[in-house]
Each structure stands twice: as structure tokens, then as C-alpha cells.
Amino acid sequence: RYGLQTRLIGSKIVHFNVTGSTHLVARQLAERGIEEGTVVIAETQTRGKGRLGRKWSARQGGIWMTVVLKPKIDPMHAASITLMAAVSVTKALRELGLEAVIKWPNDVLVNGKKICGILTEMSAETDMVNFIILSAGINVNNEVPLDIATTARAELGHKVDRLKLAQSILEELDEDYATLREQGFTPILWNWRRYSDTLGRPVEVTYQGEAIRGIAQDVDDAGSLLVKLADGSVRKIVSGDCIHLRSL
Ligand code: ADP
């Protein structure tokens, strides 16, 4: 267990040198009933996944991992898991001295560039979640092909102990997930607000084909973004695939 100080996350660890996608491996394991807390981690992924079939670059030197969760929450509140993961990663990056902030719903940024992407996928019945596959890709010492992306090494100016950082992320996640189970989403949301780079700012959201402009006002208990429009009304943006958020 790599000396991991956790109660649940990392109860089982599946490690690959190379795999197609840790997300897909974890999904298959979850479908076969693997225990909650299982972590799938790879040194490199040949077919890293983003949202909407987009590609995720996952070269050697980054942290590419997926966790299987089975939260007893309403499927309508599944986005809270994405927001929780962003908080956990942000806390771990801040311990390294990085000024990490969260862009709703699923990115962690440093100096305006993406250092971590989070991808969640749910299997659910109408009123219960079977499992949630939570993937996080963290740029650490790896090369990133894009100027919208950055790495911990580039921001800090030195190489980072990747194993220690992975441990610290899993420990933060373990703690936040315990909080979520015991006290619900509210305490997580307080931390989310603290690290948010979205709230209070003018944004444009493309949502269900419509461009919505306004001020990002808050996030509700289901993880939806509340945008205040010029006429004073508030629109709720449900976290999902068809969203593009731009800070104006
Ligand atoms: P977003 O939520 O920003 O729309 P996704 O979560 O779908 O993006 O992730 C895929 C996108 O992230 C890609 O289209 C690419 O622009 C960007 N990307 C791919 N690999 C990386 C990486 N290693 N670090 C940061 N950004 C990346």
C-alpha cells in the first residue's frame, strides 16, 4: 500500500507501467464489483480520456489515476464528487507551495493554466448510485504539449517527488470523502468556495446550445453553478458534458 495513511481510498491499488486509460480499466473493475476505494494508477496512458471523447495527454512523469467510489448519494448530486476531488487535489498542490485554484466544474489551475483535469462518470439507478469512476490527471514532472497547460515542475522550478504527491492527494481525498459521507457536501463546499477561481467573476457559459453571460454567483448543494444575469435573475447551470465556461 506504499505507506499510504488512508482509511478507504487505496484499499486496493492496481498499478500499470503503461495502460490505455486508467478510467476505462477502473470502469471495467467496478462493473465486476471491485471494492470501493480501489485505485488504478499508471506511469503513462496511451489513450488518456477527457470529457466528450477529448484526449488527455498522459506522458511519463505525471500522476494518472482513477478511484472507484460508491457513495450513498442521490444521483442528482453526483457532481459533488467532482467538486470534492478538485478540493482534495488543490489542497495537496497548495502543500507543495503552488497557488492552485479551481475552475468550475472540473479543472485545477496554477497561474491560469491547467495543472489537473478531473473526469467523473457515474453508473446509477433512478435513486441510487452504483459507482462513480473518478479520474484525476495531474501534471507533475511530465511534458505537456499545450500552452494552456502547466506542470508542478514548471511552476516550482524543480522536480517534484511524484510518489509523495500522489500519496498526499489520496490522503486528502480520503479525508474529504470521509467528511462527505459523515457530514454531507456542505463542509466540502466551504472549501470549494475558498479555492474557487470562478465565483464572483464574469463568465460566459455555453449551456445546451445557448450562450449565457453573467456573474458566477455560487455553487449549490448539487454542484450546479448559479449565474446571475444582467436582469438580476439567476440561472442554474448543471454540471455535465455540454458545458464550456469562459472567464470574461
Ligand atoms: P475541459 O474540461 O477543459 O473542457 P477536458 O476535461 O475534456 O477539458 O480535458 C481534455 C482537454 O484538456 C483537451 O482537449 C486538451 O485541451 C486539454 N489537455 C489534454 N491533456 C492535458 C494535460 N496533460 N494537461 C492539461 N490539459 C490537457
- Reported as a single tens digit per residue, the pLDDT across 128-156 is 999 999 999 999 999 998 899 999 999 99
- Among protein residues, the one with the nearest Cα to ligand 1's atom 3 is 107
Q: Which residues contact 60 (CB under 8 A, 6 or more apart)?
A: 43, 44, 142
pLDDT at residue 1, as a whole number: 47
Average pLDDT by consecutive 10-residue portion of the chain (248 residues)? 84 96 97 97 95 90 98 92 97 98 94 96 92 97 93 98 97 98 96 96 88 94 94 90 65
pLDDT at residue 51, as a whole number: 82
Cα-to-centroid distance, 183 and ligand 1 (Å): 32
Total count of residues recorded for the chain: 248
Mean pLDDT value across the chain: 93
- 201 close to 226: Cβ distance less than 8 angstroms: no
- 166 close to 79: Cβ distance less than 8 angstroms: no
Helix (H) or strand (E) holding 82: helix 79-95
User: Would you say the ipTM is above 0.90?
Assistant: yes
Please give the number of the atom of ligand 1 that sits closest to the Cα of 117: 6
Cα-to-centroid distance, 232 and ligand 1 (Å): 33
pLDDT at residue 243, as a whole number: 59
SS3 for 89?
helix
Q: Is any ligand 1 atom within 6 A of the Cβ of residue 138? A: no
Pairing between β-strand 129-138 and β-strand 113-124 as defined by DSSP bridges: antiparallel
DSSP type of residue 77: G
Q: How far apart are CA 115 and CA 144, in angstroms?
A: 10
Q: How far apart are the first and last CA of the chain?
A: 44
Q: Is any ligand 1 atom within 6 A of the Cβ of residue 104? A: no
Helix (H) or strand (E) holding 86: helix 79-95
